[in-house]
Structure 1
Amino acid sequence: MSKNLQLKSLLKQSNAFIVPGAYDGMTARLVEEFGFPAIYATGAGISNSQLGWADVGLTTLTEIVDVVSRMSDVTTVPIIVDGDTGFGNAINVIRTVKSLERAGASAIQLEDQVSPKKCGHFNGKQIISKTEMVNKIKAAVDSRRDENFTIIARTDATAINGIEDAIDRANAYKEAGADVLFVEAPTTIEQLRAITAGVPNIPHILNMVEGGKTPLVSLKEAEDLGFHIMLCANTVLRSAIKGIRDSLDVLKREQSQANIHDLICTWEERQNLFKLHQVKDWEDKYLQDAEVEEVQT
């Protein structure tokens, strides 16, 4: 089954599922290794890890495509890509969708913020008109090569115009052809209930940001509230930052690696994650005879 169809199958299931965020090939491998059914290519994570800057719309389409292609090359589960605003207007969205499909994405998330955008849990966001976003969604739907490529429409209207406008926009985005809806940064359980009740019969994403604006709930609670995907976009990145800091602290303070082993993976775990055994198998299959012939020559 193709990755696109895998994601469609997940969306048709009655039970909710967790999608962790990844920001490079390594973290994508780890998400799959732990059995999660899909990977989220997080725009914030890519900006933080690749550029060293906050999620304020600094990444380019080319940079996102590059990271997604690496993720796709080393994993077998669907990748949902944070496509920000589509990197421009509806015409830019056409190129964005085509580029991410070629890179191996199975879904794109498009949002209705003004470009350059900001993290959904930052203050000071601005949004485009509902009509402009509807046209972006229509452009995305019309330009995808595979009808099973999933279009996710996100609205950030809650923070600017209130939950009623966010729900109104979500209904319009559904009508425009979005396959999944994502109302970003609701602030209460009551708002969570209103979102899924106000836009029925379509999968919804709930973004769980530790320390963000939305109250944290469990997967079971998210499912009971009517959500289909529990997105944990920042968890992997933030755990990596803490782990690196802890190791560097020991190294700096003790000037020795003697007490660092509990903070790092083993040599074997590292090589297994990066499939050194597969490289060795390829060497045995494709290089051995050539090396013997070179020695004889």
Structure 2
Amino acid sequence: MANPIFREKLQAGTFFVVPGIQDMIAAVIANKVGFDIVYGTGYWLTASAWGLPDAGIATYTEMRNRMETLARTSNAAVIADGDTGYGGLLNVHHTVKGYEASGVTAIQLEDQEFPKKCGHTPYKRLIPAEDMVEKIRVAVDARSSEDFVIIARTDARESEGLDGALRRMEAYAKAGADVLFPEALHSEEEMRKACSVLDRPCMANMSNHGKTPVPPAAVLAEIGYAYAIYPSLTSLAAAAAMEKALLDLKQQGIGQPDGLFDFTEFCHLIGFPEVWEFEKKWALAK
């Protein structure tokens, strides 16, 4: 069941931030911090599960399973990266139905050819705007709940320029998209123009070291975005911390460095108290 909090936040018009979640460790840490919306990132969930690039290699079934696991683990509403819908119109229909049944609250669909590429990497190829319009219409028709949000993304900035990307966004809005996602804009000036001319809520993709600047949240709010996702933040922070710990172990033999997360607390975050209560109950029942 889609969580109404996402649509409520969009209607309230107050800017908010959404962290990307690459695995269930990140999910339980986000639970602790207290985010009420998180982003199931295709790039980083694929990297963490299979060690593969975000290039359309992971299948719909595999990604649905990952999103379902995230929706179960997270206390927050989940925005799910649905790539291209994994094929044509029938695939989009089944992807929307499947993701909604998996417990996510929103799906993001993009106008690349299948298989897709990460939006901040080269060699992206787009489908005609008319074909993406049909995908959005199918997606809107496929959802069961009005609380389930359809996000339309375009990767046209690189090949068609900003004006071409905005024309696509306008067409996708008319097709029924609830949120517009002009990917990989190159400057704050472009970001301001997109937010000023588009009449649906716009989201920003704050991909660290990608093509788009990453200004503070207050600046994004002033520009006019409804919200921003930070898909790579936890992944790159975790990778840097792991590399440092492993180098310390290899080079200096340090296996107990300062700054580790408390193990007992993590046991509680991941659900061990319920296991211990079960063991206590049934051990005493014997």
State the TM bucket, normalised to the shorter chain: over 0.9
The answer to whether the 8 Å contact 1:3/1:77 transfers is no
Structure 1 residues 291 and 37, CA gap change in structure 2 (3 angstroms): closer
Q: CA deviation at 1:267?
A: 1.6
Q: Give the equivalent residue in structure 1 for 2:91.
A: 92
The answer to whether the 8 Å contact 2:2/2:106 transfers is no
Q: CA deviation at 1:30?
A: 1.5
1:1-297 alignment runs, 5 A limit:
3-200=2-199, 202-257=200-255, 260-284=256-280, 288=281, 290-294=282-286
| More displaced 10-residue stretch of structure 1: 4-13 or 134-143 | 4-13
- Provide the rounded CA distance (Å) in 2 between the counterparts of 1:133 and 1:168: 12
Structure 1 residues 203 and 281, CA gap change in structure 2 (3 angstroms): farther
- Provide the rounded CA distance (Å) in 1 between the counterparts of 2:2 and 2:215: 28
- Provide the rounded CA distance (Å) in 2 between the counterparts of 1:134 and 1:7: 23
Give the partner amino acid of 2:126.
I
Q: CA deviation at 1:293?
A: 4.6
The answer to whether the 8 Å contact 1:84/1:111 transfers is yes
- Secondary structure, in 3 states, of the residue corresponding to 1:261? coil
Residue by residue over 1:9-67, the C-alpha shift from the partner in whole angstroms, topping out at 9 and shown as x without a partner, is 11112211110100222212222321222110000001211121221111111111111
CA-based RMSD = 1.5
The answer to whether the 8 Å contact 1:247/1:263 transfers is no
Q: CA deviation at 1:256?
A: 4.2
- Secondary structure, in 3 states, of the residue corresponding to 1:162? helix
- Provide the rounded CA distance (Å) in 2 between the counterparts of 1:3 and 1:133: 24
Give the partner amino acid of 1:247.
A
- Secondary structure, in 3 states, of the residue corresponding to 1:68? helix
Structure 1 residues 89 and 82, CA gap change in structure 2 (3 angstroms): same
Larger Rg: 1
- Secondary structure, in 3 states, of the residue corresponding to 1:36? coil
Q: TM-score, normalised by structure 1?
A: 0.92
- Provide the rounded CA distance (Å) in 1 between the counterparts of 2:236 and 2:96: 28
- Secondary structure, in 3 states, of the residue corresponding to 1:262? coil
- Provide the rounded CA distance (Å) in 2 between the counterparts of 1:6 and 1:235: 23
Which blocks of at least 5 consecutive residues in structure 2 are unaligned?
none
- Provide the rounded CA distance (Å) in 1 between the counterparts of 2:277 and 2:56: 42
- Provide the rounded CA distance (Å) in 2 between the counterparts of 1:256 and 1:244: 13
- Provide the rounded CA distance (Å) in 1 between the counterparts of 2:2 and 2:258: 36
- Provide the rounded CA distance (Å) in 2 between the counterparts of 1:246 and 1:293: 47
Q: TM-score, normalised by structure 2?
A: 0.95
Give the partner amino acid of 1:215.
P
- Secondary structure, in 3 states, of the residue corresponding to 1:116? coil
- Provide the rounded CA distance (Å) in 2 between the counterparts of 1:67 and 1:229: 24
Q: CA deviation at 1:263?
A: 4.3
Structure 1 residues 291 and 276, CA gap change in structure 2 (3 angstroms): closer
- Provide the rounded CA distance (Å) in 2 between the counterparts of 1:65 and 1:90: 17
Instruction: Count residues in correspondence.
Output: 286
In the TM superposition, structure 1's runs of 4+ consecutive aligned residues that sit over 4 Å from their partners are none
Q: CA deviation at 1:197?
A: 1.3
Give the partner amino acid of 1:248.
L
The answer to whether the 8 Å contact 1:4/1:148 transfers is yes
- Secondary structure, in 3 states, of the residue corresponding to 2:69? helix
Identity %: 35
Which blocks of at least 5 consecutive residues in structure 1 are unaligned?
none
Give the partner amino acid of 2:283.
E
- Provide the rounded CA distance (Å) in 2 between the counterparts of 1:137 and 1:172: 10
